[in-house]
Amino acid sequence: MIRVLIVDDSAFMRIAMRKMIESYTDIEVIGEAKNGAVGLRMAIDLKPDVITMDVEMPEMDGITATREIMAAAPCPIIMVSSLTEEGTVTTMKALEMGAVDFIPKKSSFVQLDIVQIGEELASKIRLWAKHKKKIAIFGGVRQPSVIPQSLVSKNSPGGKVGLVVVGISTGGPAAMPKVLSSMGKINCPMIIAQHMPALFTKGFADHMRIETGLNVVEGVDGMSLEPGMVVIAPGGTDSVVREPFPGKLMLFLKLNEAANIHPNADVLFRSAFSVTVGVVAVVMTGMGCDGTEGARMLKKRNVPILVQSPESCVVDGMTGSVIAAGMASDVLSLEDLGRRLAKWCA
């Protein structure tokens, strides 16, 4: 049985969440907390498998509670976030503090909305309960992975780098600011395909811009890609790079129906294959294997594929897939990823 703690200041929400969660026979609610402070105490005492966390609460909000819980009693925390501009920015901060996932909801959270998100929430609870022991503790230390040297090619760019493409998913909002802060401003555009719903990518871009001081923006169709620009691929669709004339790069939005998640890293990587400028690809934390096939294609033109070290990932599915396929040029910590990009793209 999966044991869940609900943290929400609304009595109605707590009742609704309990009713929703306990409609599944393999999940039980072991406690309800009316704010983050109570949630912290209950997390320490009850040691739940998963916590659902509201964002805005009195006495201690969801961001602070997430940070404190991940320091005192690490546990997968799923944020329950409203579909507002303020809600998305706050959710990004919570994910940076160590929350592993989020469920978007309408502000009113009416009955129809509950029905619509019930299965998604149950699915995420089950997923993160399985990963409880593997969650990277925020600020913690994990043993480095032993990766056979035969799987790492150690190739580097053959000339000037004109584009960096990044594929990232679960754990991205916490990992990406560390890479960008270590990297600083570079002399080429970077495009980040972060798996995320459409209403959250602008908030993610805004948060990253504030955190790093870099020119981080949400991509738009037909956007000209300029040096130093960090583009967050818009959620709910896919982004491709085109080169209308040599050296001039532009971003276009095109949903790939064959892709199972969006923005899709494989789609972005494949589009970068045909540009004439030098390319560097990066694969980071996330579930699944998105990025592997795109990396395989880029490798045919000797594009370096930098991979985040598995021990620094919240979930190492994407990175592990690229490494196992023999596509990795190097496997680096978050800070070393940033420094390598700064060196290659200065």
Catalytic entry in 81, 169, 312, 329: 169
* Rounded distance between C-alpha atoms, residue 339 and residue 22, angstroms: 47
Q: Which one has a higher pLDDT value, 80 or 332?
A: 332
Check if 195 is active-site: yes
Q: What are φ and ψ of residue 131, in 5° steps?
A: -95, 5
Q: Which one has a higher pLDDT value, 166 or 156?
A: 166
Catalytic entry in 290, 312, 316, 321: 290
Per-residue pLDDT, averaged over 261-266, amounts to: 96
Q: Residue 143: what pLDDT?
A: 57
Q: Which residues, in sequence order, are bridge partners of residue 50?
A: 4
Q: Which one has a higher pLDDT value, 116 or 268?
A: 268
Q: Residue 135: what pLDDT?
A: 64
Mean pLDDT of the chain, nearest integer: 90
Tell me whether domains 2-134 and 152-344 share a fold: yes
Q: Which one has a higher pLDDT value, 270 or 102?
A: 270
Q: Which one has a higher pLDDT value, 137 or 86?
A: 86
Could you tell me the pLDDT band of residue 234, with boundaries at 50, 70 and 90?
very high
Q: Which one has a higher pLDDT value, 92 or 215?
A: 215
- Beta-strand ranges (E) seen in the chain are 2-7, 27-33, 50-54, 77-82, 101-105, 161-168, 190-194, 215-218, 223-224, 229-232, 239-245, 248-253, 278-283, 305-308, 330-332
Q: Which residues, in sequence order, are bridge partners of residue 331?
A: 307
Check if 290 is active-site: yes
pLDDT at 166 over 90: yes
Q: Name the CATH architecture for the domain at 152-344.
A: 3-Layer(aba) Sandwich (3.40)
Report helix angle 292-299 to 317-324, nearest 10: 40
Residue 150 per-residue DSSP state: G
Q: Residue 115: what pLDDT?
A: 63
Catalytic entry in 195, 239, 262, 271: 195
Q: Residue 118: what pLDDT?
A: 81
- 25-57 per-position pLDDT tens digit: 999 999 999 999 999 999 999 999 999 999 889
pLDDT at 303 over 50: yes
Could you tell me the pLDDT band of residue 138, with boundaries at 50, 70 and 90?
very low
Judge: domain 2-134, CATH 3.40.50.2300.
yes
Domain ranges of the chain: 2-134, 152-344
Could you tell me the pLDDT band of residue 141, with boundaries at 50, 70 and 90?
very low
* Rounded distance between C-alpha atoms, residue 208 and residue 217, angstroms: 9
